[in-house]
Amino acid sequence: MSEPVLVLEDLRVTYRTSGGAVPAVRGVSLEIPAGGSLGLAGESGCGKSTIAGAVLRLLPGTAEVSGRVLLAGKDVYELKPGGLRAVRWTAGAIVFQGALHALNPVQRIGDQIAEPMLVHQTVSTPKAAKTRVAELLESVGIPARRAAAYPHQLSGGQRQRVLIAMALACDPQLLIADEPTTALDVMVQAQVLELLADLRRQRDLALLFITHDLSLLTTYCDRLAIMYAGRIVEEGPSGDVFAGPSHPYTRGLAAAFPRIGDRSSRMAPSGLGGDPPDPAALPAGCPFHPRCPLARPECREAEPALRISGPERRAACILV
């Protein structure tokens, strides 16, 4: 097997705040093989977006990071500024949510797509950059002549396509997509995600897809990792995890996305109840125990580690 494109080893991120240290990521280890895809799911505040920022070293100065991040074999936190710049965009690129805010409103989209290529010198002349911008726009389904448009002249779906084109500009091996379609309509969301799936097939591009929408991940990712309170609580092949969750948290989260046509969810919306824990004040023991329908007294004592729960599957629950 070839070298994984992304390896996280015991990644920990703590934010220093006026109210004290807030642990956002508390020891996450994972791997994405070249061309593979991993979906990272969880509620607000579980640490999933912090992981996206940590991979490309984009976190604010108040974040303390420990553990290792290996992107295309390079330890991101050992790199000098020059090496870091080289790794961003060329090894790993990120597509954020809210394309309106991620694009510069007063710069033509063609120039915005060309910028990383010129900075990283993946093209030698502005003319070559222009040709490449045209190819990239066509590849995301936007006519090349639209390169002269400003972001406000495009629809939400088109802007998200521009962000994808920009992320692909330097031919990265890994794309990190953080809620890439949250603000979009369902049909536009499907268009953008199918486009992403096509591009991945053509370019053998690996994907780290971060969202709260578990049902999207099962369609677009090979593997799934569920996060709760800064840790992975379950992982495995996405279809298996969604269809037969091992961890009670995954079960609650999966039930929130009803299958249309499934009689058991008709007139019976289901959820977990309760709220995600405050990262600054995590419950003792298993952090999920206050919301867990199956909690036992011993769940209050020690936080369970991930252990094997099936073929290629792990879960962090004493009942597994």
Partner 1 sequence: MHPGVTPLVEARDVHVHFGTARAVDGVSISVMPGEVVALVGESGSGKTTLIRALQGLQPVTSGEIRIRGAEPEWKGRAGRRTFHDPGIQMVFQDPTGALNPRHTIYEIVAEGLRIQGRRDDEEELVATAMARAGLRPPERFFSLYPHQISGGQRQRVVIAGALVMEPSLLLADEPVASLDASIRGEILALFRSLVDESGLAVLVVTHDLGLAWNIADRIAVMYLGRIVEVGAVEEVLAEPQHPYTRALLSVVPGRDEKPQLLKGEIPDLRNVPSGCRFHPRCPLLQSGLLPEEVAARCVGEDPGRIGLEEIRAAACWAVAR
Candidate list 171, 257, 310, 319; residue touching partner 1; CB under 8 A: 257
Contact flag: residue 81 with partner 1 (CB under 8 A):
no
Contact flag: residue 185 with partner 1 (CB under 8 A):
yes
Phi, psi of 19 (to 5 degrees): -90, 10
Candidate list 13, 114, 166, 213; residue touching partner 1; CB under 8 A: 213
User: Element (H or E) spanning 164, and its range?
Assistant: helix 156-168
Smallest distance, Å, CB 252 to partner 1? 6
Instruction: Find where tokens 């991620």 sit.
Output: 102
Nearer to partner 1, 14 or 189 (CB): 189
Piece in contact with partner 1 (CB under 8 A), picked from 71-79, 108-116, 171-179, 189-197:
189-197
Nearer to partner 1, 118 or 256 (CB): 256
Residue 278's CB is within 10 A of a number of other CB atoms, namely: 11
C-beta of residue 133 within 8 angstroms of C-beta of residue 114: yes
Nearest of 271, 291, 287 to residue 232 by alpha carbon: 287
* 175, β-bridge pairs: 93, 207
Residues 83-122 that bind partner 1 (CB under 8 A): none
Residues 258-317 that bind partner 1 (CB under 8 A): 258-261, 265-276
* 40, β-bridge pairs: 210, 225
Contact flag: residue 28 with partner 1 (CB under 8 A):
no
Smallest distance, Å, CB 14 to partner 1? 23
Smallest distance, Å, CB 198 to partner 1? 11
- Euclidean distance between CA atoms 255 and 152, whole angstroms: 38
Contact flag: residue 218 with partner 1 (CB under 8 A):
yes
Give the N- to C-terminal CA distance of the chain in Å, as an integer: 30
Contact flag: residue 18 with partner 1 (CB under 8 A):
no
- Euclidean distance between CA atoms 142 and 174, whole angstroms: 22
User: Element (H or E) spanning 199, and its range?
Assistant: helix 186-203
Question: In the complex, which residues of this chain contact partner 1 (CB under 8 A)?
Answer: 43-44, 155, 157, 185-191, 194, 212-216, 218-219, 242, 252-253, 255-261, 265-276
